[in-house]
Every structure is written in C-alpha cells, then in structure tokens.
C-alpha cells in the first residue's frame, strides 16, 4: 500500500483544525454586543462605542504583532506558532467567559489579537509543505474549511447562547480551540523546516530583495488589504439595507442572516475548484476574473429593488471571493522562497487585519452621508483601483 505523503496528512489535519477555529472565532459574533450589555449599565451611545471598540481591538493588536510572530516562525517553525496561537486563544476565550466588566473584556480581546495567527500559520505550513503545483488546490481546501467554519459559527453561537448562556458559550469556544491545539501537537509534522538565522532575516527592505520581484509581492499584499476593505465596507449596513428594501416589515433579522451567509456558501463551494483551475491555467488569471466580477456585482447591488435580487448578487459575490483571497495566498506561495513563507504570510495577515479595520469605517461613513446604495458604488470604485494596481504591480511582473 502506498504511503500517504506527509503534506497530505498535514493538509487533512489542518483543514479540520481551521474549520473548528473558524467556528470558534465567529460563534461569539451574534451576542458579543449583548454580552457587553450585561457587564454594566450603558446608554445606547456608550453600548455602541464599547461594541465597536471591543470588536476592533483584536484586529488592531493583531495587525501590530503579526510580523513579530512571522519572524519567530522563520526561526522556530510554523508548528510552534500554531501551538502558541491555539493554546493561547483557548485560554483567552475561556477567560472571556468570566470577565466581570467591559475593561477586562477589552483587555482579553486585545490578548486575542496577541495570540492571533492560528489560521494564517496553518495556511503557511500547508503552503510550505505542499508541492508548488498542488498549492492552489490545497489552499483552496483550507479556505473552504475556514469559511465553512465561519459560516457555521454564528448559528452555533446563537443556539448555544440560547440553550446555555453567553458565558458557557465562551467556555465551549475555548474547548474548540484547545481541540485544535491537541490535533496540531499530535498530528502535524514539519519535517523539512530549516530555520533562518537572525542575520539572514533582515528588515522588510532586505527581505523584499530576496524575491524575484519585490513589486509583485508588495502588490499582492496591497491586493489583500483592498479586498478585505472592500468586503468589510458593506458589513455595517447589510442588515440596514435589507430593512430598507423590506420597508421595515417582515423577518428582517432572519433575512439579513441568510443574505449575510450567502457569499460564504458560494466561497466554500468554489474555492477548491478555482484553486485547482488556477494551478492549470495560471492563478493570476483567476484573480483578474475575480476583480472584474466584483466590480460588476458591487455596482449592480447598488440598484437592487428587493431582497431576492440582493441575495442573488451577494451569492455571486461569494464566487468572486473564492477567486481572490485564497488565490492571492497561492500566488504568494508560488513566488516566494520556501524559507520566507511564514514571513510573507504574516505580512499578508497584517494586510488583511488593516483592511478589516478600515473597511467598516469606509462603509459606515459613506452610508451616513450618502445612503446605503452609495456604499456599494464606492466599494465598486475601490475594487477598480485594486484592478489598476494589480495590473501595474502584478501582471507586469509575472
């Protein structure tokens, strides 16, 4: 019987782990603001402020520390970073369940950012261990599993908080992440890792010089940032847009939840296929198609007349998402020296976090001044900018 290659075993275990982590990270989303409301007596304005601050804290901190963990991964390996992230966050989420005031919760959300990087390091390990000609499909599978977990998480979190309580749900979340830790320590193998010496790592400028095209790498990181900003710009107003289309009548919350889930469903279904297709015809072509599709669909979404049309547009956006973020990771893998994979993926993670921070700010600001439809038009223009930069920084340097 032919022995299963180590990279395939790692892919299987990592896929399960990021699925569980995706559930864990997203299952507190439906009730985080409600949990904050139980930690004190707040006015409407104060609750809005604390909800936004507590939600954003993890991304701000993670964007700052991600490059530090990337350097450590170059020195110690991806597996230790996976173990560090999963165990650290298992402890942090468990402690969130015993927080006594909003300041403690804010601190713990910041610590969540400190220990962030489980999914990005899992992707980096899979990317480094997988043969280059298989990396597109492998990272597509990882993306599908992550997105699948993130889709299931809010439903699981809502149900668990109803059956048990907010605090018990945090404990269950900690247990899921501890399960990821156990799976990783027992079944993940990083046999071919070669540490990079401190004097060899250098700063960002020195590292960029080690790539065939530093402009291509920077362009891909910028693409990640803009993709995340564009996708997250509409998050603050989707439910409000649904309410306006339904004229405030009917099951607004339920319909909003369904529409919010539709892009992820399409991404799960398509990410692996587009990853394999990119391996055959060129990953850069898949990204190009995703950017063009996003521009068209965001533009059309501004003119929908009912929730059915909105749902169709959001579902199709999921297919363009499958052409973008996982494929950017694939290109980073294919055009990076193996020993720099962790560093590059940590930069990509920081770019993603920065996009997560600025996207909602753009969306809320535009909607406040120009209305909900304007958010989709502005987002479409942001993706046009991304397309132009992609053509200059990436297509010309392949």
Say how far apart CA 166 and CA 39 lie, in whole Å: 11
Asked if 23 and 175 count as a contact pair (C-beta separation under 8 A), the reply is no
Tokens of 85: 């992230």
Q: Which residue has the tokens 């804290």?
A: 57
Low-confidence ranges of the chain (pLDDT < 70): 1-2, 30, 48, 192, 194-213, 235-237, 239, 253-254, 257
Q: Is 39 helix (H, G, I), strand (E, B) or coil?
A: coil
Tokens of 212: 């065939």
Asked if 189 and 318 count as a contact pair (C-beta separation under 8 A), the reply is no
The whole-number pLDDT of residue 303 equals 94
Q: What is the 3-state secondary structure (H, E, C) of 179-190?
A: HHHHHHHHHCCC
Residue 217, sorted as left (phi over 0), alpha (psi -120 to 50) or beta, turns out to be alpha
The whole-number pLDDT of residue 362 equals 82
Q: Which residues contact 108 (CB under 8 A, 6 or more apart)?
A: 92, 95, 96, 99
Tokens of 295: 């521009």
Say how far apart CA 320 and CA 381 lie, in whole Å: 16
Measured CA distances, 11 to 48, 54, 98, 124, 189 (Å): 40, 33, 35, 11, 10
Handedness of CA 215, 221, 225, 226 (dihedral sign): positive
Asked if 310 and 242 count as a contact pair (C-beta separation under 8 A), the reply is yes
Say how far apart CA 319 and CA 357 lie, in whole Å: 23
Asked if 238 and 260 count as a contact pair (C-beta separation under 8 A), the reply is yes
> Strand runs (DSSP E) across the chain, as ranges?
none
The whole-number pLDDT of residue 211 equals 66
- Residue spans of the domains in the chain: they are 1-201, 206-398
- The fold of the 1-201 domain, in CATH, is Growth Hormone; Chain: A; (1.20.1250)
Q: Which residues contact 199 (CB under 8 A, 6 or more apart)?
A: none
The whole-number pLDDT of residue 253 equals 60
**Assigned architecture for domain 206-398:** Up-down Bundle (1.20)
The whole-number pLDDT of residue 210 equals 64
Asked if 287 and 103 count as a contact pair (C-beta separation under 8 A), the reply is no
Say how far apart CA 106 and CA 109 lie, in whole Å: 5
State how far Cα 185 lies from the chain centre.
23
């Amino acid at each position: 019987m032919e022995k299963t290659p180590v990279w395939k075993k790692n892919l299987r275990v990592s896929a399960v782990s990021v699925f569980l982590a995706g559930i864990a990270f997203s299952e507190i989303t439906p009730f985080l603001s409600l949990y904050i409301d139980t930690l004190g007596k707040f006015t409407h304005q104060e609750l809005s402020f604390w909800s936004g601050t507590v939600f954003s804290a993890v991304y701000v901190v993670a964007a700052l520390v991600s490059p530090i963990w990337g350097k450590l991964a170059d020195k110690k390996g991806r597996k230790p970073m996976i173990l560090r992230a999963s165990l650290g966050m298992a402890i942090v989420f468990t402690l969130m369940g015993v927080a006594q005031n909003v300041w403690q919760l804010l601190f713990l959300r910041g610590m969540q950012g400190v220990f962030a990087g489980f999914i990005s390091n899992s992707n980096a390990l899979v990317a480094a261990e997988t043969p280059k000609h298989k990396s597109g499909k492998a990272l597509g599978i990882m993306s599908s599993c992550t997105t699948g977990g993130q889709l299931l998480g809010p439903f699981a979190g809502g149900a668990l908080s109803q059956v048990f309580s907010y605090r018990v749900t945090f404990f269950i979340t900690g247990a899921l992440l501890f399960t990821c830790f156990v799976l990783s320590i027992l079944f993940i193998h990083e046999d071919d890792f070669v540490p990079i010496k401190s004097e060899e790592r250098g700063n960002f400028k020195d590292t960029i010089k080690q790539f065939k095209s530093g402009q291509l790498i920077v362009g891909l990181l910028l693409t990640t940032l803009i993709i995340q900003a564009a996708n997250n710009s509409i998050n603050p107003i989707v439910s409000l847009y649904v309410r306006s289309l339904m004229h405030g009548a009917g099951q607004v919350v339920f319909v909003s939840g369904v529409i919010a889930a539709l892009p992820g469903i399409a991404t799960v279904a398509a990410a692996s296929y587009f990853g394999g297709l990119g391996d055959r015809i060129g990953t850069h072509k898949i990204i190009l198609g995703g950017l063009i599709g996003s521009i068209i669909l965001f533009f059309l979404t501004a003119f929908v007349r009912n929730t059915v049309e909105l749902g169709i547009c959001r579902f199709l956006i999921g297919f363009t998402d499958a052409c973008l973020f996982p494929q950017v990771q694939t290109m980073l893998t294919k055009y990076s020296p193996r020993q720099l994979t962790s560093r590059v993926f940590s930069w990509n993670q920081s770019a993603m976090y920065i996009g997560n921070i600025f996207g909602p700010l753009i969306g809320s600001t535009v909607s406040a001044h120009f209305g909900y439809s304007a958010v989709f038009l502005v987002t479409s223009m942001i993706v046009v900018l991304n397309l132009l930069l992609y053509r200059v920084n990436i297509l010309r340097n392949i």
